[in-house]
Structure 1
Amino acid sequence: MSNTETRPVEMLCGEPIPESDDSARPAVEVLTARDVPLGGVRAMRVRRTLPQRARSLIGAWCFADHYGPEDVSGTDGMFIPPHPHAGLQTVSWLFSGELEHRDSLGTHALVRPGELNIMTGGHGICHSEVSTPEVRTLHGVQLWVGLPHAHREAPRDFQHYAPPTTELGGATARVFLGELAGARSPVRTFTPLLGAEIGVEPHAQVTLDVDPRFEHGVLVDTGAVTMAGTGLARTDLGYLGVGAAELTLANPTDESARLILLGGPPFGEQIVMWWNFVARSHEEIVAFRDAWQHETDRFGSIDGFEGTPRRLPAPALPNSRLKPRAAPPPPR
């Protein structure tokens, strides 16, 4: 998925955490989403919870869009022409609907509910995503993972994985990245990561053993839950800093709840994000944009895509250079 904002904000992420007295801070930080249009006038909208000023990273997870359920019959649905990525991995996860994916590695695949598609575009890749004609409802998340410095020139790659359902007693889990509750994903990543879909039955509670070196985020898709005792409503993203060896999720309502659990150790590197790129400097962002605009072989090309425009043009660069912004200290 592309960041289709016409004036994307350039962000410096991963600043050193300043010393401060955070004794009054809550254990869980609650982040709310902002609506972003995904294309033209009739296009669907997504809810973006990462990045934002309050919290730009959870481990290496640097971008989170949450969309639907939306009736796309009679609309353009999701139609994202070829667009570039560099310095990151894209993670596609659907709850309902179907998307057609094409990329410059030569991949032609369908994104279906409960199946992970993860694409690596370190040095550069381009892809398109279009909802298939039969789709009436689209519902899912699109996530990005920043690549560490040692692997930020990683070659193009695409992996697919359909994780089994793990029963947790009042809850279920599908672990698409990393390891949780005895389930392990075979998908390769460049930093330790956790990604899982969790379902919690009405009035049920589950306590999960988690890595205390990880930060964790809970994005609520349906229903409402508490994360470590803090209430989260639908579309909220709850953030919990490092140090917890257990994570308790509870559903206090009469309806089932579903959420996405993300985790990873603090990234530890400063990155610059703009449009569809994760870089280390303003100059590198400029170079990525120029390569895409001039159609160099850095990002390659896609066979079989039919639509207009044939590729997304890059937005205009900001008029000024990025000014560092300090990240808040993590809740304790």
Structure 2
Amino acid sequence: MQYLEFEKPLAEIEGKANELRAMATANQEMDVKAEAAALDKKASELLNDLYKDLSAWRKCQVARHPDRPHCKDYIDALFTEYTPLAGDRNFADDHAVMGGIARLDDRPVVVIGQEKGSDTKTRIERNFGMARPEGYRKAIRLMELADKFNMPVVTLVDTPGAYPGKGAEERGQSEAIARSTQKCLQLGVPLVSVIIGEGGSGGAVAFATANKLAMLEHSVYSVISPEGCASILWKDAEKMREAAEALRLTAQDLKKLGVIDHIIKEPLGGAQRDREAAIASVGKTVSTLLGEMDGMDRSALIQQRRKKFLEMGSKSLA
């Protein structure tokens, strides 16, 4: 288990409990059950206190936790008969974006998502989840395929933002993002999007312009990262805590504002502490949201999506 900065007191308690159990394993005559149980209870109470009312900045830290389930984990666990499709038929295949045809609860769907990678090698291969133009053009191709064969689209969003490199700009990064967002709005099939970690900037919007948008409890969704916002407004990236509060990037704030439709509860301590439970909750929510759109025709789906985004921002936080 990797611990976040604000979890250091918890790390000490859980570490002591593990040390006691390790000593007992090495020396069978030692009886540490009572001491270990007391430490476990103390750790559980502290964990509950830490996560009872997380600040916006701490939610950013949890959303970025390296042990949090990523797109590939969700696809492997929730979707059957997954057939990956590669390339944008124009330039290359972007490994930051994965997607293909699959079944969710025996329902044929097209699933698309950003994958950050789980170790140094895969993180470099996946470009830390930051898609290049060919990634968004691949997503457009898969959405067109879904529209043609009347299959719902499920997108899993987890990106700090689109890749800002020189080559990406040369190949039309802004245009690719805009086209992907436009394609989301034009789809005549149900589109459900879940923000499973970070939803950063236009790189996330290009996948999340959906009929139904859900967020995991400790995920974040914003036009810019807190560090980037602080650098622009205060010329000081260290003011990221203030920026996180001002951006209203938490699932709870965005639900009040009408930006998202549903908050998916996470296990205590975040999705990284019980990956299987978190993944199961996402699968159940996606199935439910798709079921709510059963029977809607093409024009109704497009109109519902259009209305949703035209009305966005009409609500305000109390």
- TM normalised by structure 1 equals 0.28
Larger of the two Rg values belongs to structure: 2
Name the structure with the higher helix share. Answer: 2
Name the structure with the higher strand share. Answer: 1
Instruction: Report which structure shows greater RCO (CA 8 Å, sep ≥6).
Output: 1
- TM normalised by structure 2 equals 0.29
